[in-house]
Amino acid sequence: MNIRRFFKRWAKSREPRLLVWGIPALVGLAVWLAFGIYLLAGKPWQTQAHYTRIAAAALAAKDFETARIASQRLLALGVEPRRKYLFDLALALGGLGRGKEAVSLLGNIAPDDKPGYLPAHLFVAQTLLVKTNATPVEMRIAETHLKHAIALDPNSPAANELLGRLYVRSGRWELAEKHLRVIVSAKPEISLLLAAAHRARGDNLAARNWAERAAKYHRDKVQASKLDLPSDRLAWADAMAMTEDYATASLILEAGWQQFGNQAYLQPLGEVCALWLKSIAQTRPGDLASQITLIERGLECAPQNETLLRHLIRLTHLEGPEAAAARHTLKRMLAEGKAAATLHFALGVDAWQQGHPEEALKHLELAYAAAPLLPQVANNMAMILTVGNKPDLPRALMIIESVLQKFPQDPVFRQTRGEILVRSGRSQAAIADLEYALPRLASKRATHAALAEAYRAVGLRDLATEHERMAKTDR
């Protein structure tokens, strides 16, 4: 019996008044039947496209719950690309704080031991590489995932760039060049990294050529743009500095600072001055006037630049008018209210080396008051409180302990604490610090002397004698 005949017979057997009451139910049934037929006869790709759009928009808007639901619906459809939907689901779960589930999914589509889904490999690698304190193990994991990505697509721009940058970061310049060359035509800004790679390998001619290409690219971008984009101007200056045209590099940064007042140019300008200074010191060691001018200009922009400060301190140890000029520069800058902590620090170091401990203490006290968290300032303050004319061992220990809380493995700071402990009568504890510092320091004489004192205090005279001997002969 067909459906039409069934409904005819059924209708004739009903009373008309009852049929009227059944019309709404029939209409409702017809609607649901029509909907069901539509679903059965509809096009699955329409449903897939619908949820794909929802998932993409939700992830872009960081609406991770909606992205999760849409991704799960797509997976329930059983359609391809399944790995993409698993990846989107992993991103959504990660955004919802469900990290273990996200990691589990990523492990399935981007395993450590074989190529999987390329975007997932890239995501894992990039997540590790953006960490400023990535461990060697994490770097190796990132490298593995990028190699899998390259195996899936040898020409992948993202994979080649990330792997190239990873090799630059780890100093593997030949490998860096191999991957960066793949993308340099599409991304000319990579020329600067290639210049650095060639310079590190000693190929100065190739480095200069790549640096010139990078300079032209970024110069054109800066000149064509109505906006001042620091990334392009800084890259342009870096490229010029790599060609050793420090004058042009400084002018590029000066123009950015003067025209736009962007402080992002100040530290790099100090670094260019430091590079220029190093070049002049090597090629024209007698041109002290130019050196002092560069130091002054560099410290105005970057008062904490260690290269500039070290060179300035060296100049104070010269004899004659040049030394006086260097000291005058320090004091004039200080009088102008510039870089109080670093300048008092420099003057304190100079005074100590000139044999004026009381003047040194005054400057270092002022430096420490201005910047108690600057580790070098705190370390020197602790040392002068230990070996100066007015020792204050408890305060010295307190200062160096605060430094070691942040830099527990620094050999210089460990050596300072060791010397303080020796003079405080805590020789057993001092030995651990001093023996840790000894092989890690360039100058070992003071450490040997402190160890000699410590070993003698604990009754190990043979070791004390040996360290005394080495204190006289070592650097």
pLDDT per position as a tens digit, 286-296: 787 788 788 87
Report the distance separating Cα 269 and Cα 230, nearest Å.
Answer: 13
pTM for this model (two decimals)? 0.59
Q: Quick one: 386 and 426 in the same domain?
A: no
Q: Of the candidates 31, 28, 76, which has an alpha carbon nearest to the alpha carbon of residue 55?
A: 76
Q: 422 and 382 in one domain?
A: no
Percent of the chain whose predicted confidence (pLDDT) is above 70: 89
* Cα→Cα distances 419→215, 351, 387, 452, Å: 50, 21, 9, 11
* Domain stops at, among 336, 359, 391: 391
pLDDT at 249 over 80: yes
What are the tens digits of pLDDT across the range 397-428?
999 999 899 888 889 899 999 999 999 999 99
Looking at 76-85, 270-279, 372-381, which range is the least confident one?
Answer: 372-381
Within a domain: 41: no
Q: Are residues 387 and 426 in the same domain?
A: no
The model's confidence at residue 328, banded by pLDDT at 50, 70 and 90, is: confident
Give yes or no for residue 21 having a pLDDT over 50.
no
Q: Are residues 387 and 451 in the same domain?
A: no
In a domain, 232, yes or no: yes
Q: Quick check: 32 pLDDT over 60?
A: no
Please report which confidence band the pLDDT of residue 161 belongs to, taking 50, 70 and 90 as the band edges. very high
From 256-260, 270-274, 363-367, the region with the lowest mean pLDDT: 256-260
Q: Are residues 386 and 415 in the same domain?
A: no
Residue 40 forms part of a structural domain: no
> What percent of the chain is modeled with pLDDT above 90?
55
Q: What is the mean pLDDT of residues 48-52?
A: 90
Among 10-24, 180-194, 280-294, 442-456, the range scoring the smallest mean pLDDT is 10-24
Residue whose C-alpha is closest to residue 115's, from 151, 82, 142, 88:
151
* Single-letter code of the amino acid located at 446: A
Together in a domain, 414 and 475: yes
**pLDDT at res. 17:** 45
Q: How confident is the model at residue 44 (pLDDT cuts 50, 70, 90)?
A: low
Task: Indicate whether 28 pLDDT > 70.
Answer: no
Are both 436 and 383 inside the same structural domain?
no
Domain boundary among 391, 425, 444: 391
Contact 44, 77 (CB under 8 A): yes
On whether residue 439 sits in a domain, the answer given is yes
| Total of domains in the chain | 3
**Contacting residues for 136 by C-beta, under 8 A, at least 6 apart:** none
The residue among 220, 241, 275 that closes a domain is 275
- Residue 152 counted as domain residue: no
Whether residue 387 lies inside any domain: the answer is yes
- DSSP 8-state class, residue 438: G
Rounded Cα gap, residues 439 and 128, in angstroms: 32
371 located within any domain: yes
Q: Is the pLDDT of residue 467 over 90?
A: yes
Q: In terms of domains, do 206 and 250 share one?
A: yes
CA distances from 224 to 219, 230, 233 (A): 8, 14, 12
Mean pLDDT value across the chain: 85
- Asked whether residue 154 is domain-assigned, the answer is no
Q: What is the DSSP string of 76-90?
A: HHT-S-HHHHHHHHH
Which residues contact residue 114 at a Cβ distance below 8 angstroms, ignoring those fewer than 6 apart?
Answer: 148
Together in a domain, 330 and 371: yes
> Is the same domain home to 425 and 466?
yes
413/462 same-domain check: yes
| 294-333 core/surface letters (b: 16 or more CB in 10 A; e: else) | bbbbbbbbbbebebbbebbbebbeeeeebbeebbebbeeb
Query: CATH number, domain at 431?
Result: 1.25.40
Contact 246, 214 (CB under 8 A): no
Token digits of residue 334: 């200080």
Q: Are residues 386 and 417 in the same domain?
A: no
For residue 236, the enclosing domain spans 202-255+266-275
pLDDT in tens, 121-137: 999 999 999 887 888 89
DSSP 184-211: TTT-GGGHHHHHHHHHHTT-HHHHHHHH
- The predicted model gives 92-111 an average pLDDT of 92
Q: How far is CA 278 from CA 63, 187, 230, 317, in A?
A: 53, 32, 25, 18
